[in-house]
Structures are given as structure tokens and as C-alpha cells.
Structure 1
Amino acid sequence: MNLPLLLAAVELEDDDATLELLYDATADDLAGDDAVALLAAAARAGRQRVVDYLVVWDVDVTRPWDDGVDPVTWAAENGRYWVLQALLSRSRDPLSSDSPHRRALRIAQEALASGVGAASEPPPAHRAVITALEAELGIHRSPDELMARALVHADPDHDDWFTSVFHLGRRTSRETFDWALEAAQDASDLDRRRFGLDTMGYLAIAFSFDVEQENDAELPFAREAEDFLRPLLDSEQDPRTLATAIAAYSSYSSSDTVAAILAHARHTDPRVRAGVSTFLHTNTAKHEEALAALMHLTDDSTPTIRTNALGKLATSALDTPELRAVFAAHLADPYFDARLEAAAGLALRDDERGLSALDKIRSGIKNMNSPGWGRLSDMHHLLRVRAKTVETTTQGH
């Protein structure tokens, strides 16, 4: 294991390079001092993917770092939510009296009370740590208290917000749904309204695991959710709230959601366009309009939006010269994932340009930790299935 190279990759915040370098690490490597040093560097740099990888491969999270710091203590005290989640993920008995979970909870509570890191940017996520650990230990706070924790910073991208919404969203009850709907209807408080909408969306995800896995299965409270959310898609002026409403409506609605979100494909805010690119598809009565919107989104200035749109088009049943031209144009896209979707779109249509581009991408992949490895595997599976289908059809004739 080349520790200097790994530390340099962590310092550059290049998780892909770090994980590629780690692929050949042996069990002895990961049990040694270098692995602990790497874990410390990744944790302090906030490189969650790297920390997760090291913990999964059994790097010892109980060993103090070279300056004598205990990893769990450091993460809890500094409000590093995701790092702490990874460090505690292999703990076998969180309910024991001396568990690291209980110790981390106490440390996070003390750090929050003393204002540790309050002036840093972004602020530490002590409340997220406390919420997650309390849930793990069977301590369930009221929806109002969890929302109050999220609204201290009132930032939907902050871990305090996410953790409160996530744990509320797991409470799949009429009581929680009614609470979220009431909060989402509060026109006097934008932050409270956003939080309520976000909770409704997370509830929909949890409800989907509870209902029978049938295409026409309706989620609990879906009618009430749709009745509230559908008009919001036409009237909401705040972009962040609109993006959340699009996600929530698309999660609850069992009917065609495309017509409801098409109007926002050219919205000025990228968060709204991202929502549209995520939920828009061409298998709809609004086929032509959806196709035009996705074609437009393939040229979006935000790379992930382009990638979403190209991915939706790549796996659609459509095949036109105009669509192939769009894919061909993005074979030189500066964003790797967009290039991969464009290549896949052509390859799935037996276009040699796509097949050649996929081969080139594959030649640059070093191992299963390389960028694109998973998606490339998916594409080759689809190509094999398609080839077998064509062969069977040909033999049948």
C-alpha cells in the first residue's frame, strides 16, 4: 500500500483515485499502521467514501490515531456525522451500557452545549449526530423537536436537516403524515414548509417499501398528498421548495407525472431542472413533449442534469437520427458520466460509434473502484440481453 500516494489523493479530495489505489491493498495492509493513518487523514478531510471503504474492509476504528486521538471521540466531538456513521457501522451491540454509541452521544451533546465549532463553515452537525444516535438507542423525539434541530441552520443541504427528515420519514404512520402535511401547508414560514414537504417525500419512499410491489399499488395517503402537491407545482415560486414538491409529487403519484413537471424543464434554477431530469421519461401520453424536454436538458450547463437526461434517453425505446446526433455530440462531453451515457445510448442502438466509445472507456478502467465501472457493467449486461433477444427473434423467423 503506497501511503504517500494515498495521502496525496486524499489531500486532493480525489476519492476515485484513492479508491483505485486501495483496490490492491491486502488484508495485512489494512491491518497495519498505514491504514490507520489513512483513515485518520480521510476522516479529517471529510472523505466519506474513503472512510466507508476502509471501515468495510475492517480497518481498526478503535485504534487511536498517531496523535493519540480516539476516532469515535473525534468524530462525535467535531460533529462529523457521516464519518461517525461509518466508524460505528461495525459496532455489534449499540445498546450495551459501554457501547461506543452511548459514548458518542454523550460527547456530541457536551460539544453542542459548549458550542464547539459553532463559528466554522459549514457548521458542525452535532444535532445530526445526536438524532441518529438517539434513534439507534431507541430514543424517539417528537416531530417538532426534530424539525427544530433542522431549522437551527435551516439549510436543506446540511446534515442536521437531512438526519431529522430521514428519521421522521421512517415513521410511516398517519400521525407523521398529517404532521408533515400540516407543516408543508404553513404559508407563513418558508423553512417549516420546506421541511414538511421534504418529510412527505421521505415518507413516500418508506411507504413504497411497505406496499405490495405491484406497478399499480397505491401508496398510503397518496390521494391526499397528490391533492395538495399537484396545485403546488403550478403556483410555487420558491425554486428550492418547487424542486422538493416535484420530487414528492413524483413519488406519490400513480398516474402520469410527466404532464405536471414538463413546464419546469426550462426553469432558471438548476435544482428544479435536476428534479425534472430525474423524473421525466418518454413512456407517456406526452411522448413528444417529454422527448423535446429531455433533448433540451442534454445540453444543460449542469453536468448531472445532462447525464440524467442522456441516461433516460439512452434506455428509452426511441431511435431517431436526431437522437443519435445528440448522443454523438456528447461523446466529447467534458463530464465523464455524460460521455458514458452518450456512448451507451449509441451502443444500445447498434451504432458503432457507441460501441467503440464504450471500448475506449473500458480500456481506461483499472479495477472495480474506477469511475464508471458499475454503469459500464450495467450497459454490457443490457447489450448482452439485447443481443440474445435479437438472436432468438432471428432464429424464430
Structure 2
Amino acid sequence: MAEAGLGERLIAAVRAGGAEEARRLLEAGADPDTAGEDGLPLLCVAVAAYDAEAAGELAMGGADPNRLLPDGSTPLLRAIEGGSAAVVSATLAHDPGPRLRGPAGDRALAAARSWYERSGTATGERTRVPDDEFTYVDELVLDGRTVRAGHGAILTELEWGLGILTPVEELADRAVRYPDWEHVDWWAAVRLLGRRRSRETWSAVAALRRHPDPDHRRFAAHALWSLTLLENGKVPSYEAETSDLLARWATEETDARVLAAVLRAWSAEHDHPDMVATGLRYTGHPDAGVRAAVPDCVDGRPLDPGARAALLGLVRDQDGGVRGAAGAVLGRNLDGSPDVRQALVRLARDPEAEVRWMAAERLSEGDDHAPEVADALAGLLDEEFQLVRLIAAYGLMRHDDPRTADAYARIGPLEAGYEIDHRWHRVRDWEWKRRNGSAAAES
């Protein structure tokens, strides 16, 4: 195929948001710096469209993020201005170090700092939009153009790529500008601290538990969780020190949102002798977020009578999040006892869809094959969310229930992504054997 043909197809693929097609064309020899009709490299097209996938394919295929453009900017500077951390990371081929050496890195860092200051003072309406699969960012109008306010995350990642160890206090200030752990600025700071495994970093994060601002303390709890994770076997993790610190903090914290964050960080990665008793003391806490964190404190251990009673009480909580959290843990102990079974069956009829989904998961995977369990699963076959119908069908199959064939039909045409679900394969195989067994018997 002629090179010109490859370039035209690459232009069409990027403009249509076809990242996979762009990758195939680049592998076939298309020039990653191919220019579009406006004369700008296609990396600029992807950046302007906030198409991180296409930008990543072009960058990993060799597109130059520091290529000087007619207006004096570069694709990287345009990505920084746009304010999407995901797009900036993709433009740098998800490896900022090699592309930030020399004047290009200094210029990018200065731009990120400038835009961070400007986006923080902007007024007017803001709209929440996804930045990647796990985080969101605010979209706003600044200087007459629409940008995303992820410049804090961009600044954090560029500093790391340039080898700059930003003080922990500054990272915390940056994170709490948008005090939500799902915001890209908050998450970027947490993720970065998880990479900085030093006594100095750990001590600075731990010191934030005394900060007068609750959002800073909540950030500290999240960052301590990140520092504990053993990412790719990296050490030290400071697990023992962190667990003891969180144990003390969980008995002292007075702010409900911070307390919930501390309990979740503690229970997520630690096994402390005081965890169950500390968690159970908050079963009747007035804040639903704190009550929802209690089940995690007793999860992963044999349920003693006190923990069991607490969970059975929490599955009747007025808050759906609490009911779901308690049911998820209780459902992992679906041992055939009538009280646990009845609790999960009741949650399968809960008014909140997410709670019903959780109950379907636990009932379908459990070894309690009582008739009321199968009836509860059958009652979920009309759920709007296809995954719940699939889970219910899988559970009925495991029960060898005669309603399984109807359940299979009620799943409907499979939505994208579910074809890799192990439950789909099991139910599909069951249906194939049923049909082929019937055909063999008739012949």
C-alpha cells in the first residue's frame, strides 16, 4: 500500500476517534507526524478532541510532542493548556522523563504552573466530565475557550517526570483544591506519594493527621493507604507503622468524613488486632459514611457473634450504602444459617439497584442452595442492568434450577465487555449442552 494512502487513512482514523485503527496503520508504516488538512500534526488533532487513546497511539508510534508549530506552541503545550491530565500523559507516551529533557521540560513546567494558577481563580459555570476511567475533572471557560481544570494533576506528573520532589504539604494543598478523591488532581497526588517510598515522605504524610483542615486529614488517610500498597514489590511499605498510626487515629478523629476515610484506609490493607473492636464501636455512628466503613473492619475474618449481630443490624440500615456494605461482607459468610440467608434474600429485593446487584453476586456465588435463594435469584431476571440478569442466571444454573433455560433467554443480546465474564461462559456452555443433549436424544 502506498505511503500516501496510509497517511490519508490515518487522518481519517484519528478524526473519527479510531485509536485501534490508528495503531494498525502506524504499525503498517504510517508516519506518526502526518499533518491534517490544516497543516498541523495529527497529535494536535487528538489533543484538541481530548482523545487520549488516539494521542497515546500517535505518541507511542513516534509522534513528536515537542514539535514546534507555526504559532510557537507544541502539541505538548496545547495538551497542557487543554487541562486533561490523561491527554498530557498520552501525549508523552505515558513516560514523561525522556520527552521533558532540556528547554522543552522547563517550558512545559512553566506552562503547567501558569495554567494551574489561572484555572484555580476562574469563575463561572463548571461541568464535571470524565478524565479517564477512574477520575473526573471540571470543564470550564477560560479566556474564551473551554478547558479542563486538571492542571494540578498535570503539574504533579510533570514535576515527577523532571525529578522534582514536591513537598508533601504542597501536594496536599494541590489535592484539596477539589476535595474529592475521584478528582484527577487529588488522585494524581495520592498516586505520586505511593511512588515516593522514603521515611521523609511517610513522616510528612503522617504529620498531616494533625492538620486543622479536615480535607487535608482526609487526604493524609488516602495517601497513607497508597504508601502501604506494595506496588510491583517496591519496599519499604511502612505497613506496621501505618497500621498502628491508623489504629490510634481511628479512636481519636472527630470529623465524620475523615473518620470514614481512616477506617477504609486501615481496613483495606492491614490486619490489626484492634480492628474489629474499633470498627464495631461505630456501628451506631450518626454518619452513614462511617457506618458503611464498619463492615470492612470485620471482613476477612471468621465472624464472631458480636460482628455477626452488627452486620445483621446494618443490613437493615436506612442508608443503602450501609446496607450494601454490610450485605457484601455478610454474604461472604453465606453458610446456610437462616438469619444470614434471609438477610441476603431481603437485600435482593432492596429498593436500590446497587444493593440488589450486590445481593445477586453473593447469592449466586454462595453454597447455600435453599429454595428461597433460587427464588430470590429468579426475581432478579427482570432487572434493567444486564449484568444482574446474567448473575442471576448463573446462580440459577449453579442451583440446577429448572428456570435456568428461561433465565438464559432473559439475559438478551450480550452487551460489549460481558463476553469475557466467566459467568457468561458457564451459562452459555450450560445452554449449549442442554440444546445439544436434547438434539441427540431426539435423534
Same fold (TM over 0.5): yes
Q: CA deviation at 1:352?
A: 5.5
Change (3 A) 1:344 1:175: farther
Does the 8 A contact of 2:391 with 2:423 survive in 1? Answer: no
Which residue matches 1:169? 194
Deviations 1:130-162 (A, max 9, x none): 111211222111211111111223333321111
Scaled by the length of structure 1, the TM-score of the pair is 0.66
The 5 A counterparts of 1:283-322 are: 283=333, 295=345, 297-299=347-349, 303-322=353-372
Out of 228, 231, 248, the position equivalent to 2:265 is 248
Q: Tell me if 1:142 matches 2:167.
A: yes
The 5 A counterparts of 1:326-337 are: 326-337=376-387
Q: Tell me if 1:184 matches 2:209.
A: yes
* Equivalent residue letter for 2:214: L
Change (3 A) 1:114 1:23: closer
* Equivalent residue letter for 2:419: W
Out of 422, 425, 430, the position equivalent to 1:380 is 425
Task: Note the residue ranges of structure 1 that are not aligned, 5 or more in a row.
Answer: 11-17, 213-217, 385-397
Identity of aligned residues (%): 25
Q: CA deviation at 1:171?
A: 3.2
Change (3 A) 1:154 1:381: same
Q: Tell me if 1:325 matches 2:322.
A: no
Q: Counterparts of 1:43 and 1:117 in 2: how far apart (Å)?
A: 24
Q: Counterparts of 1:339 and 1:179 in 2: how far apart (Å)?
A: 48
Out of 227, 230, 235, the position equivalent to 2:247 is 227
Q: Tell me if 1:73 matches 2:93.
A: no
Does the 8 A contact of 1:226 with 1:253 survive in 2? Answer: no
Q: Counterparts of 1:148 and 1:113 in 2: how far apart (Å)?
A: 13
Task: Note the residue ranges of structure 2 that are not aligned, 5 or more in a row.
Answer: 1-8, 127-137, 140-148, 273-296, 300-306, 430-443
Q: CA deviation at 1:383?
A: 9.3
* Equivalent residue letter for 2:248: F
Which residue matches 1:111? 115
Q: Counterparts of 1:271 and 1:53 in 2: how far apart (Å)?
A: 37
Deviations 1:62-106 (A, max 9, x none): 589xx9985432321122112222332355853652597655433
Q: Counterparts of 2:175 and 2:322 in 1: how far apart (Å)?
A: 22
Q: Counterparts of 1:357 and 1:72 in 2: how far apart (Å)?
A: 51
Which residue matches 2:131? none
Q: Counterparts of 1:22 and 1:74 in 2: how far apart (Å)?
A: 20
Q: Tell me if 1:257 matches 2:302.
A: no
Q: Counterparts of 2:336 and 2:205 in 1: how far apart (Å)?
A: 31
Deviations 1:37-61 (A, max 9, x none): 9987876665xxx633773586776
The 5 A counterparts of 1:38-117 are: 51-52=52-53, 55-56=56-57, 62=64, 71-90=75-94, 94=98, 97-98=101-102, 103-115=107-119
Q: Counterparts of 1:244 and 1:269 in 2: how far apart (Å)?
A: 18
Does the 8 A contact of 2:381 with 2:410 survive in 1? Answer: no
Deviations 1:247-266 (A, max 9, x none): 21321333772339836555
* Equivalent residue letter for 1:118: A
Change (3 A) 1:167 1:22: closer
Does the 8 A contact of 1:88 with 1:100 survive in 2? Answer: no
Deviates more, 1:331-340 or 1:157-166: 331-340
Name the SS of the counterpart of 2:384 in structure 1: coil
Change (3 A) 1:172 1:371: same
Q: CA deviation at 1:372?
A: 1.8
Name the SS of the counterpart of 1:147 in structure 2: helix
Out of 142, 148, 154, the position equivalent to 2:179 is 154
Deviations 1:145-192 (A, max 9, x none): 111111223333321111112212333445544444443355x43212
* Equivalent residue letter for 1:371: G
Q: Counterparts of 1:327 and 1:85 in 2: how far apart (Å)?
A: 44
Does the 8 A contact of 2:47 with 2:78 survive in 1? Answer: no
Q: Counterparts of 1:295 and 1:42 in 2: how far apart (Å)?
A: 49
Q: Counterparts of 1:358 and 1:348 in 2: how far apart (Å)?
A: 13
The alignment of Structure 1 onto Structure 2 pairs a total of residues equal to: 355
Q: Counterparts of 1:315 and 1:247 in 2: how far apart (Å)?
A: 25
Which residue matches 2:275? none
Change (3 A) 1:179 1:153: same
Change (3 A) 1:242 1:76: same
